[in-house]
Amino acid sequence: MLDDLCKVSPLGVGGFGRVQEKNNTSKTYALKMLNKQHIVAMGDQDQVMNEKDIMLELKSDFIVRLYKTFKDDDYLYLLMEPCLGGELWTLINEEKGLSHKAAKFYTACVTEALIFMHSKGIIHRDLKLENVLIDSRGYAKLIDFGFAKKVGPGTKAKTMCGTAQYNAPEMILNKGHDTAADIWSLGVIVFAMLSGSSLFADKDDDDIKTFENILAGIDVVFFPTEIKKIAEDFIRKLCRNNPTKRLTAQEIPKHGWFENFRWKAIRKKTMKPPFIPKITSPVDTRNFDVDHLPEEKKYPSTTNVSSWDPDF
């Protein structure tokens, strides 16, 4: 089937490789290409296999779907559902922040993804604006499970990973983390949607200073006037320093910020999205910055690059 696909356009570059838009005569896909030399050089074989297994398990309308995997001598391939509306990050930057109505819509989409994931003991661990894509209808879907981890009841993950400005304090302090780390990251996302700015990021993008801001806690953060008090309360309850005191994904719909919000309409996808992306064809990539993607890095030859992936 891989030979039947025609390249349309690159869509993005991630830690291990590139995402390209592909199509055949009947359908368009996103193809994530993972460079084997890079994976082996970084010692990330287990992480890649884990990403595939988790994505195959996560069948939700609010999580991008993995259809099939392939491999050859140089790459691993994940054939996925395309979301051609672009990143939520791009939308927020273009709009300089969103209305409360729009922010609730996207928060609800992400919450539905988290409710499903967390019920299976899966932590995303890199929840951020860039990992929320808009589909052709205007609904948001969670992507990129490269750092995702499945944990059993009462157990915690230990690895420090993700993106600095979204990291929960317990991850920074290496205390172990669970699904509550995703809830913290969601709070950072909601603040960004409503204010157009980052909750904890250092102005010079210094990760150490960002971590210091995070560890200082939500209580010292000043909230701009455009964020209503009920939304501020919501964000503060997502970003409590004690992870056991944060709202859970299941509790989010009950918060006052979502009073009279039609959750059933979100789940059935009958609610009208706040923004409908401009997409004129199944191969339209206008919502991605495809002209400024970096060149793929070259890695030194590594022997036995395929001995670890027979089950991919």
pLDDT of residue 13: 54
Catalytic position from the list 4, 72, 126, 207: 126
Q: Are strands 140-142 and 132-134 parallel, antiparallel or unpaired?
A: antiparallel
CA 111 – CA 127 distance, rounded (Å): 11
* Cα separations in angstroms, 119 against 53, 123, 150, 211: 16, 10, 11, 29
Residue 94 backbone dihedrals phi, psi, to 5 degrees: -70, -35
Coil/strand/helix, residue 49: helix
Q: What's the fold here for domain 88-268?
A: Transferase(Phosphotransferase); domain 1 (1.10.510)
Which has the minimum average pLDDT: 14-18, 62-66, 144-148?
14-18
List, by residue range, all CATH 3.30.200.20 domains of the chain: 2-83+282-292
User: What confidence tens digit (pLDDT) does each residue in 103-144 have?
Assistant: 999 999 999 999 999 999 999 999 999 999 999 999 999 999
Token output for 223: 């909230």
CATH of domain 2-83+282-292: 3.30.200.20
**Residue 288: partners with Cβ closer than 8 Å, 6 or more residues away:** 9, 11, 12, 84, 86
Task: Find out whether 106 and 127 touch, Cβ atoms under 8 Å.
Answer: no
Token output for 56: 């195959």
Task: Find out whether 246 and 240 touch, Cβ atoms under 8 Å.
Answer: yes
User: What confidence tens digit (pLDDT) does each residue in 19-44 have?
Assistant: 665 666 567 888 888 889 889 888 89
Task: Find out whether 74 and 35 touch, Cβ atoms under 8 Å.
Answer: yes
CA 137 – CA 51 distance, rounded (Å): 26
- 298 DSSP 8-state letter: P
Distance of CA 61 to the CA centre of its chain: 14
pTM, rounded to two decimals: 0.90
Q: Is the pLDDT of residue 294 over 90?
A: no
List, by residue range, all CATH 1.10.510.10 domains of the chain: 88-268
Active site residue 182: no
Token output for 97: 């922040």
